[in-house]
């Protein structure tokens, strides 16, 4: 791994907090991406490009996919960002040749850029929405949703309470700079030397979801009711975040944190939950809170169709959709997921202005038009 030495830089700014420095770096990254078109490939497409790179393309179209993608990635006008689910899925490869070929392609095409983790995006979207509702100026979500590959599972930093605060801050900022500049290939090599590659665990939950689906099939008479049912469940799962978020906003605007007793006795979490639910119910939310809409809508679509069952990869695929649709311009994915997204009940490709395709016969002309 390349060593990035920024000690001297941070010795000149000892008063700057770690949080402020990281925010500056993330905004710098987000601003640099505003003028670029973003193409999100699900794992199937990354592996097709990998096979073409290794001379294993099964069709001429697959070889063409590699050729055009190479051109677009090198143009400086397009970028192929990844997400935590791409990271987890490509690590499942056990053959070092195919793994490192995939990783090299991702490093070149993504320029080391990833969306922040799914949970971080939900918190970001909530914060952004509440700040907008309060009239506070905020950066666009398109500037705030990005990070580097080493941080796509979340933020980590060393913290030593036994050394002076100034030294602790210095080490944390230098450590951040090292990971911020680390490529996916360097991460894989380091992981391989330190006990092997550990794939982040992801459970499909399909069987449990199917039991729930068929056990409650007749509870909703319209698709809107089905969506609202799914939305209520998702809101409830994140309700514990609401008080913490409001406490952060209170301190941000007043300079002092709320008293623990005030926070404990507050019903603000339920008030926020009710507000979000009712705004969706009365069609007052369009493309705000995209994670809530897309997750809930895709689950509702599967549950509404009595002939469909949840499949093993559905939750992975749903997370790809939640990552790609609000933040990217193109999404190339599986046939099943594409049909769910583009069906008349949802039309999320139109809502979020994200071209969504599954057939390589459609993807190639789309990319060729961009490259021309």
For 29-44, what is each residue's pLDDT tens digit?
Answer: 999 999 999 999 999 9
The per-residue pLDDT for 205 is 55
The per-residue pLDDT for 264 is 67
Cβ-proximal residues to 360 (8 Å cutoff; 6+ apart), any chain:
48, 59, 61, 62, 65
**Closest C-alpha to 143, from 116, 119, 112:** 116
The per-residue pLDDT for 210 is 43
Long-range contact set of residues 18-21: C-beta below 8 Å, sequence gap at least 24: 18/157, 18/169, 18/172, 18/173, 18/176, 21/173, 21/176
Low-confidence residues of the chain: pLDDT under 50: 203, 206-207, 209-216
pLDDT tens track for 251-309: 887 888 877 766 666 678 888 999 999 999 999 999 999 999 999 999 999 999 887 88
The per-residue pLDDT for 260 is 73
Kind plus residue range of the DSSP H or E element containing 122: helix 118-133
The per-residue pLDDT for 181 is 95
Give residue 170's Cα distance to chain centre: 29
The per-residue pLDDT for 251 is 82
| Cβ atoms of 153 and 312 closer than 8 Å | no
Q: What is the dihedral of CA 356, 361, 363, 365, to 10 degrees?
A: -130
**Closest C-alpha to 294, from 271, 317, 274, 312:** 317
The per-residue pLDDT for 307 is 79
């Amino acid at each position: 791994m390349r060593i990035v030495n920024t000690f001297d830089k941070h010795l000149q700014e000892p008063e700057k907090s770690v949080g402020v420095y990281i925010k500056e770096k993330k905004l710098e990254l987000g601003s640099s991406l505003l003028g670029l078109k973003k193409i999100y490939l699900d794992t199937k497409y990354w592996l097709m490009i990998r096979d073409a790179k290794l001379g294993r393309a099964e069709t001429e179209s697959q070889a063409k996919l590699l050729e055009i993608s190479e051109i677009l990635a090198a143009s400086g006008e397009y970028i192929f960002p990844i997400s935590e689910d791409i990271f987890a899925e490509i690590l499942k490869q056990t053959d070092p040749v195919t793994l490192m070929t995939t990783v090299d392609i991702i490093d070149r095409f993504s320029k080391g850029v990833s969306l922040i983790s799914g949970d971080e995006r939900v918190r970001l979207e909530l914060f952004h929405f509440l700040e907008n509702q309060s009239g506070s100026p905020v950066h666009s979500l398109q500037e705030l949703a990005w990070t580097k590959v080493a941080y796509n599972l979340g933020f980590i930093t060393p913290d030593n309470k036994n050394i002076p605060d100034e030294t602790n801050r210095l080490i944390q900022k230098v450590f951040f700079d090292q990971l911020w500049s680390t490529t996916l290939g360097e991460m894989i090599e380091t992981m391989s030397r330190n006990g092997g590659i550990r794939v982040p665990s992801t459970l499909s939950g399909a069987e449990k979801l199917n039991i729930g689906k068929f056990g409650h099939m007749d509870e909703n008479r319209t698709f809107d009711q089905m969506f609202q049912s799914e939305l209520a469940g998702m809101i409830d799962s994140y309700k514990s975040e609401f008080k913490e978020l409001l406490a952060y906003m209170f301190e941000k605007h007043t300079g002092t944190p709320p008293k623990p007793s005030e926070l404990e006795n507050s019903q603000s979490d339920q008030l926020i939950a009710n507000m979000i639910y009712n705004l969706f119910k009365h069609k007052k939310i369009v493309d705000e809170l995209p994670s809530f809409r897309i997750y809930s809508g895709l689950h509702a679509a599967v549950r509404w169709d009595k002939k469909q069952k949840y499949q093993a990869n559905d939750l992975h695929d749903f997370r790809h959709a939640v990552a790609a649709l609000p933040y990217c311009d193109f999404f190339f994915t599986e046939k099943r997921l594409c049909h769910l997204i583009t069906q008349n009940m949802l039309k999320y490709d139109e809502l979020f202005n994200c071209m969504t395709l599954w057939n390589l016969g459609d993807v190639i002309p789309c990319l060729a038009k961009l490259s021309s």
